[in-house]
């Protein structure tokens, strides 16, 4: 303990920290242990206590491991009830659907068609529906996944099979009845197998687009038909043809415009090229147009002169040239010209000699000769107004 007069205590408290501690201990003996926790004796006791606690903890862990090795008794009472309530909370019964739309067949070898494999089909989905969902919900989900209008789905062509069974037979969905059969089949399986693969053709193209006010301004779902274009190998005939047509499209257009169908009247149904040097005719079918356009694309020729090819050899000419049809112009009959009435020729006036001769005849008493010679001086007698007056009287008896 710290002893001394109060003046010494005050001196210690005022001069150094030790004095302050001593003064506090004198006034508050119960607080002395706070300043003695770091003594060597207390530190030794603390180390011993920690060692004892570590040993006790290890012993407890060994006992716990022994208890775990022993079979635990079945839960009773409240614990058993809680487990039963947990078992009742099962996950929702849903079916997961996957959509597969096969792509068109590809021409790989001459005369052979290869079917599109499953991995080359257009895949849509997945989406999930409750097993209690109606058939209409399935159609709506398909329309959303594609996307397309619901009425454009070809329901009668949809077939299905379990996804996890690769060799399973595809069954027709058959609209409402087939959907019920599928649901019944899923209910007989474990929930882990509730996965269905739907095979269906692409949706039909809409006949007409809806107006913005019919769709409330929202864009209408439209199926992307370009996704159905097959993935073509570089060596396939179809791929080469598509690339060739794309490369020579401009040249083909020039040839078709310069040599239209029926450009010669002898051949009204085909395109024909006429060699000006030989006068031979060649039919410009798709093969010859393709060869010619390819040569033009390579810069070897133009649209006026075909390339040197066996397809333009003299043996390939049109050997039988029909005669050009003679175009007879239609004869247009003019309307009949109305007949113009003949104008009587004017009577020539008598000459001077005729007048002198007539005068001599009149002097000699031959007046009748003047009328015979000059009819204009002998007018016709006027017709009687009453023909009855000129009838001869009957002979007297």
Residues 56, 9, single domain; the answer is: yes
Do the bridges between strand 122-130 and strand 94-101 make them parallel or antiparallel, or are there none, so unpaired?
antiparallel
Higher pLDDT, 104 or 132: 132
Are 158 and 180 a contacting pair, CB within 8 Å?
A: no
Residues 42, 132, single domain; the answer is: no
The rounded percent of the chain whose pLDDT value lies above 90 is 27
DSSP 118: G
DSSP 196: E
Residues 102, 161, single domain; the answer is: yes
Among 349, 95, 73, smallest CA distance to 197 is for 95
Residue 171 banded pLDDT, cuts 50, 70, 90 = very high
What would the mean pLDDT of 347-359 be, rounded to a whole number? 61
| pLDDT tens digits, 216-267 | 656 677 888 888 876 555 556 666 777 777 888 899 999 999 999 989 998 9
Residue 351 banded pLDDT, cuts 50, 70, 90 = low
Residue 322, in any domain of the structure = no
Residue 350, in any domain of the structure = no
Residue 371, in any domain of the structure = no
Residues 223, 104, single domain; the answer is: yes
| pLDDT tens digits, 119-145 | 578 999 899 999 999 999 999 999 999
Residues 56, 161, single domain; the answer is: no
The C-alpha atoms of residue 192 and residue 108 are separated, in whole angstroms, by 40
Phi, psi for 146 (deg, rounded to 5): -70, -55
Predicted local confidence at residue 243, as pLDDT:
76
Q: Is the pLDDT of residue 272 over 80?
A: yes
Predicted local confidence at residue 141, as pLDDT:
95
Total domain count, the chain: 3
Residues 49, 115, single domain; the answer is: no
Domain that holds residue 30: 1-63
Predicted local confidence at residue 13, as pLDDT:
44
CA 18 to chain centre: 96
Task: Specify whether the backbone of 210 is left (phi greater than 0), alpha (psi in -120 to 50) or beta.
Answer: beta
What would the mean pLDDT of 298-317 be, rounded to a whole number? 88
Are 260 and 289 a contacting pair, CB within 8 Å?
A: no
Residues 190, 138, single domain; the answer is: yes
- The secondary structure of 314-328 as a DSSP string is GGGS----PPPPP-P
Residue 203 banded pLDDT, cuts 50, 70, 90 = very high
Phi, psi for 140 (deg, rounded to 5): -65, -40
Helix axes 237-247, 286-297, angle to 10 degrees: 60
Q: Is the pLDDT of residue 8 over 90?
A: no
CA 148 to chain centre: 11
Residues 100, 196, single domain; the answer is: yes
For residue 370, count other CB atoms closer than 10 A to its CB.
19
The C-alpha atoms of residue 143 and residue 96 are separated, in whole angstroms, by 16
Residue 369, in any domain of the structure = no
Residues 106, 200, single domain; the answer is: yes
Predicted local confidence at residue 124, as pLDDT:
93
What would the mean pLDDT of 373-385 be, rounded to a whole number? 53
Phi, psi for 281 (deg, rounded to 5): -110, 140
What would the mean pLDDT of 381-387 be, rounded to a whole number? 53
Q: What is the CATH number of the domain that holds 122?
A: 3.10.20
Q: Is the pLDDT of residue 158 over 90?
A: yes
Residues 31, 100, single domain; the answer is: no
Angle ∠(332,333,336) on CA atoms, nearest 5: 155
Residues 36, 119, single domain; the answer is: no
Cβ-proximal residues to 236 (8 Å cutoff; 6+ apart), any chain: 106, 107, 108
Are 288 and 334 a contacting pair, CB within 8 Å?
A: no
């Amino acid at each position: 303990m710290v002893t001394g007069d109060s003046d010494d205590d005050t001196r210690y408290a005022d001069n150094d920290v030790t004095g302050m501690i001593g003064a506090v201990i004198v006034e508050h003996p119960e607080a002395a242990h706070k300043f003695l926790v770091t003594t060597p004796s207390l530190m030794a006791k603390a180390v011993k206590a920690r060692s004892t606690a570590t040993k006790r903890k290890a012993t407890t862990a060994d006992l716990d491991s022994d208890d775990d090795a022993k079979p635990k008794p079945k839960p009773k009472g409240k614990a058993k009830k809680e487990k039963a309530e947990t078992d009742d909370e099962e996950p929702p019964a849903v079916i997961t659907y996957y959509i597969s739309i096969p792509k068109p067949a590809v021409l790989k070898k001459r005369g052979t068609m290869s079917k599109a494999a499953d991995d080359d089909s257009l895949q849509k989905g997945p989406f999930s529906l409750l097993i209690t969902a109606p058939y209409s919900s399935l159609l709506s989900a398909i329309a959303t996944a594609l996307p397309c209008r619901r009425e454009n789905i070809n329901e009668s062509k949809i077939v299905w099979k379990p996804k996890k069974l690769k060799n399973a037979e595809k069954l027709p969905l058959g609209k409402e009845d087939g959907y019920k059969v599928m649901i019944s089949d899923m209910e007989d399986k474990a929930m882990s197998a509730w996965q269905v693969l739907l095979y269906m053709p692409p949706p039909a193209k809409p006949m007409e687009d809806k107006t913005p006010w019919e769709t409330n301004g929202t864009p209408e779902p439209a199926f992307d038909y370009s996704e159905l274009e097959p993935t073509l190998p570089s060596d396939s005939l179809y791929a080469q043809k598509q690339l060739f047509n794309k490369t020579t499209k401009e040249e083909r257009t020039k040839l078709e415009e310069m040599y239209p169908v029926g450009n010669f009247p002898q051949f009204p149904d085909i395109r024909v090229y006429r060699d000006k040097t030989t006068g031979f005719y060649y039919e410009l079918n798709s093969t010859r147009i393709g060869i010619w356009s390819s040569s033009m694309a390579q810069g070897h020729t133009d649209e006026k002169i075909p390339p040197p090819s066996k397809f333009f050899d003299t043996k390939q000419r049109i050997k039988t040239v029909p005669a050009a049809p003679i175009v007879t112009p239609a004869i247009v009959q003019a309307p009949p010209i109305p007949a113009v009435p003949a104008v009587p020729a004017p009577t020539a006036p008598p000459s001077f000699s005729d007048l002198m001769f007539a005068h001599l005849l009149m002097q000699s008493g031959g007046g009748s000769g003047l009328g015979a010679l000059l009819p204009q001086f002998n007018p016709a007698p006027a017709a009687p107004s009453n023909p009855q007056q000129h009838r001869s009287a009957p002979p007297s008896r």
